[in-house]
Amino acid sequence: MGEIPAAGSGPGGDARLSAWVHGAVQGVGFRWWTRSRALELGLTGYARNAPDGRVHVVAEGSRAACLRLLEMLRSGDTAGRVTLVVESWEPARGDMSVFEER
């Protein structure tokens, strides 16, 4: 699993989280649930269904908020049933202005 980038992001700095969510996560309101949580946290990005049944979540904002979203994705309290979340991190790009379902 990826490490949170240090360059350009201090403890309160911005980061970009990419999370591949495995399980029963399509057709159960999971993308809507993820969008709602991301908006509550002030994140931008998207949640998109993948052809293989996973959902790809890309979230950008404060490192703390991205970590909180990742915790929520792994919490067991999501829509659907998450069995695994594989994350990677990179510096924030600043190329998204909203969080959307795709």
Residues taking part in catalysis: 31, 49
Radius of gyration of the chain (CA): 13
- Write phi, then psi, for 79 (nearest 5 degrees): -70, 145
CA 44, 4, 57, 95 torsion-angle sign: positive
Residue among 73, 71, 76, 65 nearest 43 (CA): 65
